[in-house]
A and B are shown apart, each in its own frame.
Chain A
Amino acid sequence: MSTAALWLTIVAIGIGTFVLRFSFIGLSGRMALPVAMTRALRFVPAAVLSAIILPAALRMPGGGIDPSLDNPRLIACLVAAGIAWMTKSVLATLAVGMGTLWLLQALL
């Protein structure tokens, strides 16, 4: 990506994100979100984050997908998910997940 295109992309996300943040605050309570919309928006983080995580965890260095337990990234993600569940700590999740990946890469 060229430098100009990169900046344009960043600025576009920045403006769009500000519009999302400002939307209802900008209207100053003159409009409310429909109930169905609020209910649906609650699931956005879970749906989007997991849709990014699993393909990234299964992706092989050369491209393509490896859903087997020989894939060190998958193992490391499973371990990290367990740690995140138990500790709810960002730092512990990152440290154990990354440590597991490095360990498996060194062993395999």
Chain B
Amino acid sequence: MKPAIGDYIDGLRAMLPLLPGAVPFGMIAGAVAAEAKFGAAAGIGQSVLIYAGASQLAATQLVAEAAPALIIVLTGLVINLRFAMYSASLAPHFAGLTLRRRALLAYLMTDQSYALTVSRYGADGTADAATKARFYLGGGIAMWIVWLGATAAGFMLGSRVPPSWSLDFFVPLSFLALLVPGIRDRATATAAATGAIIAVVATSLAFNLGLFVAAACGIAAGYLAETWCKKKEDAR
């Protein structure tokens, strides 16, 4: 039998190629927090407390725009709704582990750690929960360290950059880099197009509510498009 440490190393090795991609995101999250006049503790602390790039970026941007706190919190959470989906998908793999272990696994959940674990163990029914958890942690802990380091570095650099550099533009750009590869079929494309158009039409709505209306319409449009495409396929 392979020693337990081997599983951690396997997980780390699988995560290695994905770590460089997190560096620019983390640095931007730190830099825009510095620009939004977060103190160092809040700018870097949000990476520990929230530990989710897209939601940190969106929340920071809304803080800079002086949006109401409730709207900022809701926006940050809507973006992270996908974690509930990952959690549902990972739950059977980690069943039977202690509550503390599962809490740690949940805290370290990222798009990357989810994708790696599911693609490795999705079809493999032989590995036990402890092995899968070690694999997940090997990559997950590395990602956490990289994210924290990148945010701190970005924060220190960002506070020295003049506003004329339009650093805030990194926020939509990072989201583009996340969004575009995720558009894999007509249904996701419909969701994205609907969300974008409604968001622009609804910008005049108070309290950034336009974002929620747009997100809800986009999700509904994607869902309907998928249903419709499937029906068409079945009819063939």
* Interface set of A (CB-CB < 8 Å, partner B): 1, 3, 5-14, 16-18, 20-29, 32-33, 38-58, 65, 67, 73, 76-77, 80-81, 84-85, 88-91, 93-94, 97-98, 101-102, 105
Q: Most chain-A Cβ atoms within 10 A of its Cβ — which of B25, B46, B189?
A: B46
Q: Is the CB of A105 within 8 A of B166?
A: yes
Q: Is the CB of B203 within 8 A of A65?
A: yes
> 8 Å CB contacts to A: which residues of B77-98?
77-88, 90-92, 94-97
B30 CB-CB contact with A under 8 Å: no
Q: Is the CB of A53 within 8 A of B83?
A: no
Question: Can you name 27 A-B residue pairings with CB atoms under 8 Å?
Answer: A3-B42, A14-B49, A14-B51, A18-B106, A21-B87, A22-B106, A23-B84, A23-B88, A25-B90, A26-B102, A28-B94, A32-B88, A38-B88, A42-B188, A43-B188, A45-B178, A45-B182, A46-B183, A48-B218, A50-B193, A54-B200, A55-B210, A56-B171, A67-B200, A80-B173, A98-B173, A101-B169
Chain A positions within 8 Å of B45 at CB level: 10
Q: How far is the CA of A23 from the CA of B76 in the complex (A)?
A: 17
Other-chain contact of A98, B42, B52, B106, B170 (Cβ < 8 Å): B170
Chain B positions within 8 Å of A58 at CB level: 200
Q: Is the CB of B24 within 8 A of A5?
A: no
Q: Is the CB of A24 within 8 A of B182?
A: no
Q: Is the CB of A51 within 8 A of B178?
A: no
Q: How far is the CA of A18 from the CA of B55 in the complex (A)?
A: 13
Q: How far is the CA of A25 from the CA of B136 in the complex (A)?
A: 13
**B8-16, B119-127, B144-152, B219-227: which one contacts chain A?**
B219-227
Residues A24 and B91 in contact in the complex (CB < 8 Å), given A17-B51, A18-B107:
yes
Q: Is the CB of A52 within 8 A of B106?
A: no
Q: Is the interface of A mostly helix, strand, loop or mixed?
A: helix
Residues A84 and B96 in contact in the complex (CB < 8 Å), given A16-B73, A23-B84, A49-B192:
no
Q: Is the CB of B69 within 8 A of A28?
A: no
Q: Most chain-B Cβ atoms within 10 A of its Cβ — which of A50, A88, A89?
A: A50
Q: How far is the CA of A40 from the CA of B199 in the complex (A)?
A: 19
Q: Is the CB of B85 within 8 A of A77?
A: no
Q: Is the CB of A49 within 8 A of B175?
A: yes
Chain B positions within 8 Å of A29 at CB level: 91-92, 95
Chain B positions within 8 Å of A21 at CB level: 80, 83-84, 86-87, 106-107, 109
Chain B positions within 8 Å of A12 at CB level: 69, 73
Q: Is the CB of A55 within 8 A of B83?
A: no
Q: Is the CB of A1 within 8 A of B214?
A: no
Chain A positions within 8 Å of B203 at CB level: 55, 65
Chain A positions within 8 Å of B179 at CB level: 45-46, 49-50, 53, 84
Chain B positions within 8 Å of A33 at CB level: 84-85, 88
